[in-house]
Amino acid sequence: MPDKSLCGAVALVTGASSGIGAATARRLAAEGAVVAMVAGPRDRLDRVADDISGMGGHGVAVAADVTDPGDAERAVQDTLDRFGRLDVLVNNAGIMLLGTALHTTIEEWDRMVSLNVSALLHVTHAAIPYLIDAASTAPRQVADIVNVSSTAGRFARPGCSVYNFTKFGLQGFTESLRQELLTEGVRVGVVEPGTMDTQLVNHLGDTTHQAARRQDSGIESLYAEDVAEAIRYIVTRERRVAVNEMLVRAGDQTW
């Protein structure tokens, strides 16, 4: 067995400019995968690519707004044009904008649905034919889709209604897609991180940001690298093993 389990594989990671996405790109590159990193801000993507290059891996930046279906398709096609295949898709791009229905704007709701749901659908739809092809031609004889959800896909809490909506929906989509692609050699799984040391809360307004931090007070949060390691574990199993769901909570988290 090769020293690096993803040698020869090509991975595409969305939301890869920071946080879980950047950590996942680094981790998959360390396993030998070539990683296409997709996000809006090109400068931050380039920094992650430089990190990967510095450790002897290969990562390329693909600047794209995956909420636009044409841009999402272009990001997938750019990966295919560069590397000729696609073995692993990690749908990580997302945003959390908390607040009650009374005090949240419809623009914030639309923004969450656009990035957490529509963008994931756009990229997945564009990638599926190439993942199926990779599963039939790769030495591993399998390809992988991993969707990054949240404990918010399992447990509803006040102030999270639309965020919960996007993540509960992601859980159902992932399970149905898993069943659809079983015979195609494409495994589909979901990772559900708990309390994170993440930039997600930086998108919140001051009052909501403070409330979120109070809620997490006393909890030693997960790092992005913890979730990246869970994703690495899922996509490096031998073909006979499918890890379809992984709940990763902070050790002190009660919900």
DSSP string covering 20-57, please? HHHHHHHHHHHTT-EEEEEES-HHHHHHHHHHHHHTT-
Rounded to 5°, the CA angle 79-85-89 comes to 70
223 is catalytic: no
Residues 124-157: b if buried by 16+ CB within 10 A, e if exposed? bebbbebbbbbbeebebebbbbbbbbbbbbbeee
Is the distance from CB of 91 to CB of 124 less than 8 angstroms?
yes
Read off the amino acid at residue 54: G
Catalytic position from the list 130, 163, 223, 233: 163
CA distances from 145 to 92, 160, 179, 199 (A): 11, 26, 13, 24
Q: Are 29 and 9 in contact (CB under 8 A)?
A: no
Task: Output phi, psi for 189, to 5 deg.
Answer: -135, 170
Tell me which residues are annotated as active site. 163
